[in-house]
Amino acid sequence: MTSKAEVESVESEEAPHVGERTRRDRATEALGRSWLLLFLIALIGYFWLSTPSGTFLTWTNLEQIALNTSEVILLAIGETFVIVTAGIDLSIGGILFFSAVAGGEVMIHLAGTSEQTINGQYPHSGLAIPVGIAVCILAGTTWGLINGTLITKLRLPPFIVTLGTFGMTFGFGDLISGGSYLPSPVPPALSSHFGNGKILGLSSPIYVAIFFLIVAHVVFHHTRFGRYTAAIGSNQEGTRRTGIAVDRHIIKVYGLAGFLAGVAAVLDLAIFTNTTSVSHQTDNLSAIGAVVIGGTSLFGGVGTVLGSAVGAFVPTVLQNGLVIEAVQPFWQEVVVGAAIILAVYVDQVRRRRANR
């Protein structure tokens, strides 16, 4: 028999190794959480050094990057919740475009006659703008709920459903707009009071993105909704057996993604005053890239809203820096696509090690 003294001696010898391994694991986890932020800082530093002085690292340019990223952040937040459930939403860019077209058309038609709006006159913009904003958000939410309903009620793969609605949203959007820009810009009051409006030196849309980012972070990590989302992605059937209404929750998650796409459509109209399908063809890549690069697993169950927000800056910083360097911005798509593949590979390696 082993004496108590011998057991205590063995435990005392193993304790330092356990503590050392724990510190090593913590350091590895900390590095895993912060690598993306370090990469983003390195990317900014590279463009700062490689671009002419006074072009990239200026307050005006950094604010422009943040402004352009505000839409991507909103899309990435919704995509994070979707992907954590082990789903995917390939229609998010199309929903944004359709919502912007629908809301923009309503704004233009309510603001005045065709002659008035073409001539830059918007006598009824006070009514047109809030109604148009409501239409943007309602249209986005509706498409999101359609995605969730088709996935749950028809038992169809999210990839197939959202690929189909991707084509539908872009198709309907082009049909409404005539395949080009809206007939005239949206009422300028939307841009002057909101899109170009500033609070403490920052454009108003940036604050909208920050607000939804904070709310989403709290909801994901500190509410029942967030816990259910992660549980469904980890084990959908097991979650269903605990009494949770899985189908209803998935519909809510896709509805949330559509709602945020509708909000992003409002920002799009406020910033650019018009919209076209060409400008939103890569929104899916940017949003999904931000989520996956940010640390959310495509296999579900694991995600971070703040990581997705940091990941959202990668494509916009790349595009901005490449434009200043007079390099074709299409390289942005190449880099983001490669980064998605690498991130998924790393995630698979982590899962294999965890299952050993």
How do residues 242-264 score in pLDDT, each as one tens digit? 889 999 999 999 999 999 999 99
Domain assignment present for residue 197? The answer is: yes
Whole-model pTM? 0.85
User: E strands within the chain?
Assistant: 198-199, 202-203
Find the angle CA(123)-CA(125)-CA(130) to the nearest 5 degrees: 160
Share of the chain above pLDDT 90, in %: 46
DSSP structural state of residue 279: G
| Helix (H), strand (E) at residue 300 | none
User: Please, what is the average pLDDT of the chain?
Assistant: 85
Round to whole Å and give the CA distance between 223 and 353: 30
**Residue 322 confidence (pLDDT) above 70:** yes
Domain assignment present for residue 40? The answer is: no
Round to whole Å and give the CA distance between 263 and 233: 26
Contact between 338 and 292 under an 8 Å Cβ cutoff? The reply is: no
Domain assignment present for residue 15? The answer is: no
Of the ranges 216-225, 228-237, 339-348, which one carries the lowest mean pLDDT score? 339-348
Q: Quick one: CA dihedral 108, 111, 113, 117, positive or negative?
A: negative
C-alpha distances out from residue 298 to 166, 262, 346, Å: 19, 24, 11
| Helix (H), strand (E) at residue 78 | helix 59-84
Domain assignment present for residue 339? The answer is: yes
Q: What is the tally of structural domains in the chain?
A: 1
Residues 323-336: what's their mean pLDDT? 78
Domain assignment present for residue 4? The answer is: no
Domain assignment present for residue 21? The answer is: no
Give the pLDDT confidence score for residue 85 in this predicted structure.
Answer: 95
State the pLDDT confidence band at 281, using cuts at 50, 70 and 90. confident
Higher per-residue pLDDT: 200 or 80: 80
Give the pLDDT confidence score for residue 52 in this predicted structure.
Answer: 87
Share of the chain above pLDDT 70, in %: 88
Among all chains, which residue has been given the structure tokens 């724990």? 22
Give the pLDDT confidence score for residue 32 in this predicted structure.
Answer: 52
User: Which residues have C-beta within 8 Å of that of residue 196, sequence separation ≥ 6?
Assistant: 203, 271
Give the pLDDT confidence score for residue 12 in this predicted structure.
Answer: 45
What tokens were used for 231?
Answer: 């549980």
Higher per-residue pLDDT: 137 or 325: 137
Higher per-residue pLDDT: 107 or 6: 107
Residue from 272, 353, 243 nearest 96 by CA:
272
Domain assignment present for residue 281? The answer is: yes
Give the pLDDT confidence score for residue 130 in this predicted structure.
Answer: 95
Three-state secondary structure call for residue 301: coil
Tell me which residue range forms the domain holding 258.
Answer: 53-355
What tokens were used for 53?
Answer: 């002085």
pLDDT digits (tens, 9 = 90+) for 45-69: 988 988 888 888 888 899 999 999 9
3-state helix, strand, coil in the chain (%, to 5): 80, 0, 20
C-alpha distances out from residue 340 to 38, 94, 296, Å: 17, 20, 11
Domain assignment present for residue 62? The answer is: yes
What tokens were used for 71?
Answer: 């839409």
Give the pLDDT confidence score for residue 252 in this predicted structure.
Answer: 96
Of the ranges 35-44, 75-84, 306-315, which one carries the lowest mean pLDDT score? 35-44
